[in-house]
Amino acid sequence: MDIFSIIGVFFGIGMILVGYILEHGKIQSLILLSPALIVFGGTVGALMLSYTQNIITKAPKLILEALKKPKSKVPELIDFLVMLSESARRDGLLSLEKVVEEEQNKKAIDPLLKRGIIMVIDGTDLQEIRELLETEIFVYEENKKIEASFFEAAGGYSPTMGIIGTVLGLVQVLSNMSTPEELAKSIAVAFIATLYGIMFANLIYLPIGNKLKLQLKYYKLEKEMIIEGICCIRNGENPKMLRERLSAFLQLDPQKKKKSGKNAEIKAQAPKKKAAKAKA
């Protein structure tokens, strides 16, 4: 789980509640069933009309997916692609079949990478390899965009349902002007419905949609790196040059980026130390 994301949700809601308490508000007055039913029920109904059953039933899984900590496989993929390149140059393209089978038995090979290498072994044209793999990425990307749009749509419907709750509350206010107790309850329903709609749209639905889109961008860049590596292997490119070409994708790995920064700093300080020793 991505603890930072979970902390963000509780921090955002917590700060709103703390600010409310500082203004001498009571938490109990914010918990009402009727505004929750109006906002959440209305949002779910609109989503059911907008999306298919497959997307709606997948929503809990997508929420958990958004809360997962992203893991970068870029360094391992670069090493594996370079190893494949070395094997292809040393023993020929047919030698890659054995390597792919071994990795498949370990269940450690990327499906896209496996399909690409099989096409390389079969002697498929370079342009055709690229087009087929890019088509597969495009289809996956479109599916993920639909999943992300589900939460973006929820973020749009939720405030609107809050406004509907507010209107219904004001209707109750106008119809109970003679009874002060009922008047107070109706006003509470009116404003809390708006609060629920706006708060959950901006703290839950829209952030989840953005997180899914961010994960999709990382996925796409990783797969584009795989396609680039496969095409280079198909062209018989030097393994060292392949590593240099793919090293730009290491920016997808924050830890690797930090290490590179430290190494660069050490290298920059080395000449200064040598110069200081020479003067001494």
What is the per-residue pLDDT across 131-178, written as a single tens digit (0 to 9) for each? 999 999 999 999 999 999 999 999 999 999 999 999 888 887 777 677
pLDDT for residue 221: 86
Closest CA relative to residue 35, chosen from 202, 187, 208: 187
110, 115, 121, 124: CA torsion to nearest 10: -140
For 108-125, the pLDDT digits (tens) are 678 888 889 899 888 888
State whether residue 141 is helix, strand or coil: helix
Write down the domain spans for the chain.
Answer: 1-31, 32-252
pLDDT for residue 73: 80
Concatenated DSSP letters of 173-223: HHHTTT-HHHHHHHHHHHHHHHHHHHHHIIIIIHHHHHHHHHHHHHHHHHH
Closest CA relative to residue 74, chosen from 224, 232, 240, 262: 224
For 71-104, the pLDDT digits (tens) are 778 888 888 899 999 988 888 888 888 888 877 7
pLDDT for residue 277: 43
Instruction: Identify which has the larger pLDDT, 37 or 279.
Output: 37
Closest CA relative to residue 81, chosen from 254, 235, 246: 246
| Distance separating alpha carbons of residues 79 and 96, to the nearest angstrom | 15
pLDDT for residue 272: 43
Q: Among all chains, which residue has been given the structure tokens 């269940």?
A: 107
pLDDT for residue 252: 62
pLDDT value at 187 more than 90: no
| Distance separating alpha carbons of residues 144 and 131, to the nearest angstrom | 20
The arithmetic mean of pLDDT across residues 39-51, rounded, is 95
The arithmetic mean of pLDDT across residues 202-226, rounded, is 91
List, in order, residues 6 or more apart from 229 with CB less than 8 Å away. 77, 78, 81, 84, 85, 242, 246
Which pTM was predicted? 0.79
